[in-house]
Structure 1
Amino acid sequence: MNIFELLKVNSFSKLKVINKNADLYREIETIESTETPDVAEYLPKNTLLITTAMAYKDDQEQLCMLIRKLNDLPCAALAIKLGRFINYLDEKVIMTADELGFPLLQIPMDVTLGEIYHQMLGYLWNVQNKEVLYALNTQKKFSTLIFQGASTEVLLNNLGIILKKLVVLMDPLGNIIGSNDNFIEGDMKNVKELFFSLSLYKKQSGVVQYYIDPKKKKGRISIYPFHAFGRNSYYLFIFNSESLPADISALVIEQVLLAFEFSLYKNLCILYHKLKDNERFLLLLLDKNKMEELPPQQLLSIEEKHGLRPSKFYYVVLVTLESFKNNKFHVDKFSHREQKYIFIYEWLQKDILKNYHNSIILVPEIENYRYVLLIQDNDNDLEEKLRYYHDRLLEMLQVKVTFSYGNRVSEIEAIKYSYYGALESYQVGEERDDISFIKHFKTKNVNELLKTLSKDEVEGFCIYNLKTLAYPQDVKSLEIRNTLRTYLESKCSITETSNKMFLHRNTVKYRIKKCEEILGRKIDESDFILQLQLSLILTEEK
C-alpha cells in the first residue's frame, strides 16, 4: 500500500498533504509513533512516522535534518500533528521536503496520536494480510499456467486482466517481446522511446521506477526490472499504474515477476535444444559427423530447411563472443554466459531473417561461444550491420564480439574451406577500413604457406630437388646456386641472366650446364622449374 491509496480511505481522508511535491506513491510497510529525536537510527524502511515534532518546537532546522535522514532510509512519510507543540512549519522545512519529494502529512487536531496510530496500523495489517493471500493465489494461478505450457503472451494477457491495465514485457536490448491485447502501435513506439531515453540498460537496478507518460504528459508508468542474466534485466511496463486495484501490492507483482523469470528460463532451455539441432547442420557442412562427404544435391536436399540454397558463391563470417571464449559451455546449469549466448543467438537470428531472409544463415557453434554466418548472396551493407551488432551488444549487454571473414567459394562442398579460412582470419587476419572488430582473410605468400611443413619434410624436399646445391658450403657451389636462382627468376633466359649478374653469356651457359649435371636432369619442364624455385625459397629461409 502507498500514501496515495491510504489517503483515499475514508478513515484517513482528513489527513492533509502539506507540501506540493510530495511523492505519494511511496510504499508503506509499517507505522511508527515516537517523539525521539534520533528515531531515524531505529526505524525500518518504508515506515510512516507519526509525531507531534515536540523535540523540534524551538529548532525546525533540526527537523529539516530529520527529513533528510528519513528520506535516505527511505521512509514513506512524516505525519505531524500541528497545533500541539508546533503551530506551523517553517518554509525551509517545506522546501526541504519538496526538494526530496518527501511527503509531509498534517494530522487533524481532533484526532489523538494513539487513535490515528492504531487505526492506521490495523488497516495496514488488514491490507497486508489480504495482499499475502492474493499474492499466493496469483502465484498459484501463474504457476499453473506455466506448467500447462502457457506462452508469454498468455501470461501477459492474464496479468492485464488482473490489473485491468496495459502491460508490456521488454528484453534487455529494448525489444518488445510481448504485451496484453490492449497494446497498439503507438504504445510500442512510446515504450521503446522511454526505454532508450532513460537508458534503463545502464542503470542495472532491481528497484521499481515510476515515470509520467511522456506522450500524454499524464498517467504513471511503472517499470519493474527483473533478473535475466548477469547484470541485465527484462522489464515489465504497467501503464496508468496510479490507479491499480486496491488488492494489487508489490508482493503480488513480485510473484508475477518470478513467474515470468521462470517462464523465460524455460524458454531458454527449449531454445538450447533448437540450437543443438541447428549445430548439426554446421557439422554436416564441415564433414565433422560423417566419414564420407555428401554430394552437393544431397546436402541441399537434407539442409533445405535451414535455408541452404544454390548460389554463385558462399563464404563464412565467424562471430566470436570475446567475453566468453575461454569458458566452457555448461549444459546442465546455465550461468549468465550460457543464457546470454542463447539470447544473442535468438536476437541475431530474428534480425538477420528480417533483413536478409535466406541470403544469410546463422548457425551456432556452441562449445566455442561462436556463431557462423553463412553468406550466400550479395552483402552490400553487411559490414555496416556487423558494426551495429557490435556496438549494440557491447553497450547493452557488455559483450564484445569479433567478426572474421573467410574466402569466397563457389561450391557447397567447399564451404568448409571458407570456414577454416575464417578461423585463420580470426587468428592472423588483417583489419580493413580501421574496423578493429572485423578481420579479413590475409592471403599467404609462398614462404608463409611452406612454413606449415615440418623441418624434415622441408629438408627432404629441398635435397631431393637441389641435391648438393640445397645447402652449399664452398664458394664455387654458392656461385652455381646463385646463377641457378637468377636464371629461374629470369624465366630461363641466358641473356637476361648474364645482364643481371654482369657475366658473359658463355659463363652463364657453363654454370647452367653444371647445374643440370648436379641435378641429374635438364631444366626445361615447368613442374621441375617450380619445384626448384620452391626449394630455393625454402633453403634461403633456412
Structure 2
Amino acid sequence: MITTVANILDLDELSGAELVAGGGGLGNTVNNAALMEVPDIFSYVDKDNLLVTTLYPISNDEEAKRDIIPKLSELGLAGICIKPGRYVDKIPSIMIQQADELNFPIIQLPEDANLSNIAVGILEISLEQHIRTLDFRNRVHKTLSKLFLNGADIETLVNSLADMVEHPIILLDDNANMMYVSKDLIQYDVDIVKGGMDDFIIQINNRIYNRNSYIKHLIVAGGTRFGYLILLGKNMRQKSMVMAIEQAAFLMAAAFYRIYSILEKERSFQDALVRDILAGRVQSNIDAINRAKTFNWRIDFPQIMMAIKIISDNEEDMLKSYEYILDRKVIERLLDRRQIIDRDSIKVAYMDGMIIVFMGAASMRDIKRESIEIAEVILDELGGRGRLSIGISNPVLNVEEFPTRYDEVCSSAMIGKALNGMSSINHYDDYRIFDIIMSVRDRDVLRKYVEDQLGDIISYDRTENMNLIETIRVLIDENLNMKRAAETLFVHYNTLRYRVGKLRELGMDLDDGTNVGDISIALSIYLWLVANDDWDI
C-alpha cells in the first residue's frame, strides 16, 4: 500500500485541517515531509515530499508567492500544508487558482497546528510503509530463492510470484514474444505490441494495458538479455511491487542462466549426433531414432531439411543473430505457436555457418509446397535480422540419404549469396540441373561458359548493384511475364522495364528463345559455383 495525500489527512496531527485546492491530486504519493525554512526551498525538497510551512520565508514576496505552486508541482511534490494567521492572513488566491489547475493539493492547517508534530507524523507513517515494503521484498526473495534452489522451473517461479503480489505476471523474451503467463491469464487471449524504447501495449481480451498500468523489469545475466518480467495492475506505483519485481527479475535471470548452461552442454552432445547423421556415420534408421530420443527429438521419415543463412559482412552481428535464434528456440517456438509442426518433430542445430532445421514431413500432403510455406513463415519471423537465404532439401526418405540432402540444402541456401537484393527461399528441386553441373569435372569450362553468357551483367551488377542477376532469375521463373516478375521482385513495373532495357544494352536478347535457354543454363551454373565458393562475388 502506498501513502497518499488522502491518507495524510487522516492523521491525528492534521485534525481540523482542510483541503482548500487541488483535490485532483489527493492520490499523490507521499514519502516524506519537508519544513520550509528558507525562501529558496526548491533545492531542499525531493519528489513526493509534502511541504509544511507558514509561508514566513516568502510572506513579503508577492512574486515568490506566484511562483511557488507551479515550481513545486514541476518538481513532483505531493502537495503543500499551509498554516495561515501569523505571517499571512490567508492563503493567496493566486495559489488556490494555480493549485486547482495543476491538481496540486493545498491543505490549510488550523491556527493551533504544530508543524513539527505534523512533519514527525508524516515521517512515521512513511517509515512504517517503508518497513512493510522491505518485509514484503524479503518475503518475495526468500520464497523465490527457496524455489530456485530446489530446482523449480521458470513457470513455477512465475506462478509463485503472481500468487504473492496478487497480480497477473507475463514473461516475455527479448523480442517481446510471450514465453509464460501466470495461471490466472491462461484462459485469456494475450497480445503484445512492442513500441519504441522497450515499451509495450498489452491487450487481454478487450482490455488495454499501457506503461502506466504495468511494471516492467529487464531480465539480464552475464551480459545476456533474456527478456522482460511484467506485472499487470490498475495502480503500479507501489514501491513494494517495484521492489518485488526487481527481486523476481534477479532470480529469473539466475534461472535462465542455469537453464542455458545445461542446454549448452546438451547442445554439444546433440550437435555431435547431428554431425554423425550428416556425415553418414549413423547407417540405421532405428539407431538414429533411438539416439535422437535422448534429445526429445522424434525422427519420422520422410524428413525435410532447411538451411538458414544470414548474408552479412558483419560476422559479429551474424553470429549474435544465430546465437539468439538458437538460445531462444525462436524457430521451435514459432512453429509450435502456429501449430504447424509438433515441437518434438523439430530439431535446430548450427552447422557450417548456417542454422540447419530438421522437421518431420509425414503429415504433409504436398511436401514441396508446404515446406516452402513453412520457410515463408520463418522468413517473416526472422526478416528483421537482415538478408536471409533459406534452402530446402528434397525429402529425406531414410537415414542414409541425410548426407546427400545436406549437400543439397547447403547449396540451396548459398544461392542467396549470388542474389544481391532481398531475402530468398530456394528449393533444391528447382535446381535439378545442379546434378548435371556437378558431373562436369573441369570447373574452368563452367566458369568460361558463365563468363561468355553473363560476364558483363555480373560485372555491371557488382559496381552498380542493380540486382540484374536476380531480375534474370525471376523473369525466367515467371516465363518472361513482366507483370508477374515485377510483383515477385516487389518493384514497380517501370523499374523492371528499365532493368530489362539495361540487360538488352549489356547484350542479352530476351526475344530469342535459344539465347534465353543459354542464359538459364549459365545462370544455374553461376548460382552453383557461388554456392560452392567457386566464384568470387
> If the length of structure 2 is used for normalisation, what is the TM-score?
0.62
The residue that corresponds to 2:301 in the other structure is 310
State the shift of 1:254 in Å: 2.2
Distance 1:231 1:249, change over 3 A: closer
State the shift of 1:147 in Å: 0.3
Q: Is the 8 A contact 1:50 1:117 kept in 2?
A: yes
Report the secondary structure of 1:24's partner residue.
coil
State the shift of 1:148 in Å: 0.5
Report the secondary structure of 1:355's partner residue.
coil
Following superposition of structure 1 onto structure 2, how do residues 175-194 of structure 1 map, counting pairs within 5 Å?
A: 175-183=177-185, 185=187, 188-189=188-189, 192-193=190-191
Q: Is the 8 A contact 1:17 1:106 kept in 2?
A: yes
CA RMSD of aligned residues (A): 4.9
Residue type at the aligned position of 1:152: I
Distance 1:373 1:296, change over 3 A: closer
The residue that corresponds to 1:109 in the other structure is 110
Structure exhibiting the larger radius of gyration computed from Cα positions:
1
Following superposition of structure 1 onto structure 2, how do residues 225-304 of structure 1 map, counting pairs within 5 Å?
A: 225-228=217-220, 233-241=227-235, 248=240, 250-287=242-279, 290=281, 294-296=283-285, 298-300=287-289, 302-303=291-292
1:406 equivalent in alignment to 2:392: yes
How many positions carry a matched residue from both structures?
A: 424
Report the secondary structure of 1:203's partner residue.
coil
State the shift of 1:57 in Å: 4.5
State the shift of 1:146 in Å: 0.4
State the shift of 1:15 in Å: 7.0
1:123 equivalent in alignment to 2:125: yes
State the shift of 1:440 in Å: 4.7
The residue that corresponds to 2:410 in the other structure is 423
For residues 58 and 136 of structure 1, what CA distance do their matches in structure 2 show? 48
The residue that corresponds to 1:93 in the other structure is 98
Q: Is the 8 A contact 2:301 2:396 kept in 1?
A: no
1:24 equivalent in alignment to 2:13: no
Report the secondary structure of 1:7's partner residue.
helix
State the shift of 1:342 in Å: 0.9
Report the secondary structure of 2:339's partner residue.
helix
Q: Is the 8 A contact 1:64 1:96 kept in 2?
A: no
The residue that corresponds to 1:530 in the other structure is none
Distance 1:426 1:131, change over 3 A: same
Deviations 1:74-130 (A, max 9, x none): x352324264643445576246525xxxx5352533534322222212322233234
1:79 equivalent in alignment to 2:80: yes
For residues 338 and 44 of structure 2, what CA distance do their matches in structure 1 show? 58
Q: Is the 8 A contact 2:32 2:122 kept in 1?
A: no
Distance 1:34 1:323, change over 3 A: farther
The residue that corresponds to 1:489 in the other structure is none
Q: Is the 8 A contact 1:165 1:241 kept in 2?
A: no
The residue that corresponds to 1:356 in the other structure is 341
Where structure 2 has 5 or more consecutive residues not aligned to the other structure, the ranges are: 448-537
Residue type at the aligned position of 2:350: E
For residues 178 and 457 of structure 1, what CA distance do their matches in structure 2 show? 54
Distance 1:300 1:122, change over 3 A: closer
Report the secondary structure of 2:119's partner residue.
helix
Q: Is the 8 A contact 2:217 2:230 kept in 1?
A: yes
Residue type at the aligned position of 1:113: L
Distance 1:216 1:343, change over 3 A: closer
Q: Is the 8 A contact 2:54 2:82 kept in 1?
A: yes
Instruction: Give identity over the alignment, percent.
Output: 13
For residues 116 and 457 of structure 1, what CA distance do their matches in structure 2 show? 93
> If the length of structure 1 is used for normalisation, what is the TM-score?
0.62
Where structure 1 has 5 or more consecutive residues not aligned to the other structure, the ranges are: 459-542
State the shift of 1:364 in Å: 1.8
Following superposition of structure 1 onto structure 2, how do residues 475-494 of structure 1 map, counting pairs within 5 Å?
A: none
Distance 1:153 1:227, change over 3 A: closer
Residue type at the aligned position of 1:19: G
Following superposition of structure 1 onto structure 2, how do residues 366-381 of structure 1 map, counting pairs within 5 Å?
A: 368=353, 370-374=355-359, 376=361, 377=364, 378=367, 380=369
The residue that corresponds to 1:204 in the other structure is 198
State the shift of 1:258 in Å: 1.8
Q: Is the 8 A contact 2:217 2:245 kept in 1?
A: no
Report the secondary structure of 2:25's partner residue.
coil
Q: Is the 8 A contact 1:320 1:370 kept in 2?
A: yes
For residues 63 and 119 of structure 1, what CA distance do their matches in structure 2 show? 24
Deviations 1:226-254 (A, max 9, x none): 2247677313223355798xx94533332
Residue type at the aligned position of 1:421: E
